[in-house]
Amino acid sequence: MKKQGGVVFTIILIIFALIVILNSNIVLSPGEAAVIFNKFTGNMRLAQTPGFYILIPFVETAYEYDIKVQTYTMSSTQWEGEIKGDDSLKALTSDGQIVYLDLTVRYHPNVKKLINLHKEIGIGYALKVVRPQIRSFSRLTISKYPVTDVYSSKRELIQDEIYKKIKKSFEENYIVLDEILLRDIRFSPDFQKAIERKQIAQQEVKRMGYLKQVASIEAEKKVIEAEGEAKALRVKGSALASNPALIQFEYVQKLAPTVQTIITDGKTIISLGDILKYKK
């Protein structure tokens, strides 16, 4: 019995030792860091170089952090964002129109301030800081602009303003903002229909302008042609007045090319050759 008891005790001791060993070290990969907390002293130390770290059993606890660039997406597309389903951001413009935003934010914890981040916020900083501040500052920025600005010319300006506001707030919370992408903006059905009606009206105005331009060109062309014809008639009339023989020439030009001589009144014989010679 004593032998069996000794074996059981040894097995328990081995299991206990394995548990202690397994919980007394951490291995950090590239892109990882850890805050190591001492339960007795309350002090914290930072482990940020990849490698093997030994912990004091039952005294030190390691809290690991991903320090690579991360993304937080709020989207209407199913399974695309961190929260499944429609997680797009709903905001009101300065003129009371509802808009829906799809946003992606790229960020990473400030490694130099990782102990402060752990002390004041903790591992769940994405839900405690990142998400609420994206929503808050995006809505605040959108509320400053009328819907026409959000829809058209000032989209990049709005994105830059959101970026600056979130960047400053993230820095105060020991997070580095790398990039913000305003991926999509959608409007209420009523405003969308108004946009479509406006686009149709603009296309119609362009079409009418084109038709008006074509009509103007055609009218100008006819005026030029009429002016040309009037000028030709004036020149022709002046020529006929100064040279009556040209009247006969105009007449004979309409005759068959084989006709060389005609009798005009039963008495006068006109030689076409003489008229042509006279013209020259």
The per-residue pLDDT for 221 is 73
Band (pLDDT 50/70/90 cuts) for residue 280 is: very low
Same domain, 26 and 87: no
Q: Tens digit of pLDDT for each residue in 66-80? A: 999 999 999 888 777
- Return the higher-pLDDT residue of 20 and 77: 77
Nearest Cα neighbor of 111 from 41, 28, 182, 43 is 28
Q: Tens digit of pLDDT for each residue in 206-255? A: 666 666 777 677 777 776 776 677 676 666 667 656 666 555 556 555 55
Domain containing 114 equals 70-187
Same domain, 179 and 196: no
Res. 145: pLDDT tops 50? yes
The structural domain count of the chain equals 4
Same domain, 229 and 137: no
The per-residue pLDDT for 204 is 57
Same domain, 165 and 261: no
What is the CATH number for 114? 3.30.479.30
Mean pLDDT, residues 257-264: 51
CA distance 169 to 105: 14
Last residue of a domain, one of 25, 46, 66: 66
CB 65 within 8 A of CB 107: no
Last residue of a domain, one of 42, 66, 90: 66
Res. 30: pLDDT tops 50? yes
Same domain, 157 and 202: no
Q: Tens digit of pLDDT for each residue in 88-144? A: 889 999 988 899 999 999 999 999 999 999 999 999 999 999 999 999 999 999 999
Same domain, 136 and 100: yes
How many CA atoms lie within 13 Å of 36's alpha carbon, on the beta-carbon side? 19
Same domain, 110 and 177: yes
CA distance 22 to 150: 55
> Bridge-partner residues for 71, per DSSP?
106
Same domain, 81 and 172: yes
Mean pLDDT, residues 33-39: 95
The per-residue pLDDT for 120 is 95
The β-bridge relationship of strands 60-66 and 44-47 is: unpaired
Mean pLDDT, residues 13-40: 79
Same domain, 179 and 80: yes
Res. 264: pLDDT tops 60? no
Same domain, 74 and 183: yes
Q: Tens digit of pLDDT for each residue in 150-205? A: 877 788 899 999 999 999 999 999 999 999 998 888 887 777 666 656 655 666 56
Res. 54: pLDDT tops 70? yes
Mean pLDDT, residues 12-23: 59
Last residue of a domain, one of 143, 161, 187: 187
CA distance 205 to 202: 5
Mean pLDDT, residues 258-278: 50
Q: Residue 202 corresponds to which tokens in the numbers above?
A: 């603009």
The per-residue pLDDT for 199 is 55
Same domain, 168 and 82: yes
Same domain, 159 and 231: no
